[in-house]
Amino acid sequence: MRRKLPARAVAPLAGVTAAALIAGLGYAWPRPAPSAAQAASFRTAGWSQSWGAAMQRPIAGGEDEGPNWSVEGFGDHSLRQVVRLSTGGAQVRIRLSNLYGTRPLRVAAAAVARSAGGAQAWPGTTAALRFGGTRSATVAPGADIVSDPVPLATVPLEKLAVTLRFTGATGPATFHRFTTQPAYRASGDHLSDEGAGAYTRSTDALYYLAGVDVTGGTGGTVVAFGDSLIDGVGAAPGADARLPDALAERLAAARSPLGVVNAGIGGNRLRHDSACAGEKATARFARDVLDRPGVRAVIVHLGANDIRETPGDPCLRPGGPATAAQVIDAQRQLVRAARARGLKVVGTTILPMKGALFPVWSPQVEKNRDAINLWIRTSGTYDAVLDADRIMADPADPDRPRLSYVYQDGLHPNDAGYQALARGVDLRELR
């Protein structure tokens, strides 16, 4: 969905693996798969993912989310990105993705440090990262790579600064289109800078960094998978206020060592790819959920962009509105794939859509939304239900969201709404 709104809003609720492969637990990548050694390293016993993002094809920024560097890529640059861990551990490693690259990605060097805010690194904490024992790495088009472990002790909700050094043209960059935490860029070699002075440019997107794993003291990972409700549209910039963030805080307060990964993509759909909103959910589910290290549960919110009206929105093409039956069938495919891997699956009802300040709702959309939500609540397909519909609904008109919980676009949760949704998750169902 597109809206002309200020301040970092992007397309809301916004591959080539067939849905049948997901349903049958076949595994395929849209480009060459990683090597056997790389694939094994993703699933090394004892590792779990503490932070992660879903990767997208390069696309120029728009008026909603602002400019990004994905199309131009990088040259003689240092790229610093800050992530907040959901769980801590004794060691750290990072995962880099060149999933949509058109040429080998050459990383001259990489480092990790404790964040001191913005683009600053905490003095004395910078540690060089290595890949197979060397400081540099080359990631083939369509592949991922995992760094060697670094003995860096971390705690839940701690922020790390991950810096990548490039010395030559990367070509278009695999990235994540929307984030509430900027990425920072400096010209030249500033890999080990503790200060932020050289990092004079920033964008609200993530590049190449697909995951941060920890080992020691963790109980596994829950992946939040879906569209803009998961991605965090409407959350305050820099406040770590998205649904996965708020859930991670609840788990940390409960002393439950379970990592939370945000695998949401604004605008994402179950049945159709989108240049703006990533591969369809049935195609990316294996990569973005099943193959993350330590995953044991998944929370799913999808379907709103499949059933909504799509007048003139290029981000929701191809494909017209889906029926409730089509959305339900696609969700069943995800559940079957997750269950076959032994994961718990939490279904999330579609939030109220009436009253949005851009075209999204109609009586037919509401009919389909009601049918899907009834199935999620009552079919028994899911192990548990997060009832976003009832949590967000205005008591005076349940088809609309309550104003105290909704962002200025009239649809997405604000920080209070995301906190309410996180409180609606039964933590016992994630273990």
Task: Encode pLDDT of 126-142 as tens digits.
Answer: 999 999 999 999 999 99
For tokens 């990316």, name the residue: 284
Q: Between the CA atoms of 48, 53, 54 and 59, what dihedral angle is there, to the nearest 10 degrees?
A: -160
pLDDT at 319: 79
pLDDT at 301: 98
pLDDT at 344: 98
pLDDT at 23: 36
The three-state secondary structure class of 101 is coil
For tokens 């995962």, name the residue: 95
pLDDT at 311: 67
pLDDT at 32: 40
Measure the CA–CA gap between 31 and 321, rounded to whole angstroms. Answer: 29
pLDDT at 314: 78
Strands 344-348, 384-386: pairing is parallel
pLDDT at 358: 85
Measure the CA–CA gap between 327 and 1, rounded to whole angstroms. Answer: 18
- Token pair listed for 120: 């600053």
pLDDT at 21: 32
Measure the CA–CA gap between 224 and 49, rounded to whole angstroms. Answer: 12
pLDDT at 5: 37
Measure the CA–CA gap between 124 and 70, rounded to whole angstroms. Answer: 31
pLDDT at 429: 95
Q: pTM of the entire structure?
A: 0.90
pLDDT at 64: 73
Q: Which residues of the chain have pLDDT under 70?
A: 1-45, 217-218, 310-311
Measure the CA–CA gap between 104 and 392, rounded to whole angstroms. Answer: 45
Please spell the DSSP secondary structure of 140-198, one letter per residue. Answer: -TT-EEEPPPB---B-TT-EEEEEEEE-S---SPPEES--SS-EEEEES--TT--SSTT
For tokens 């993705």, name the residue: 97
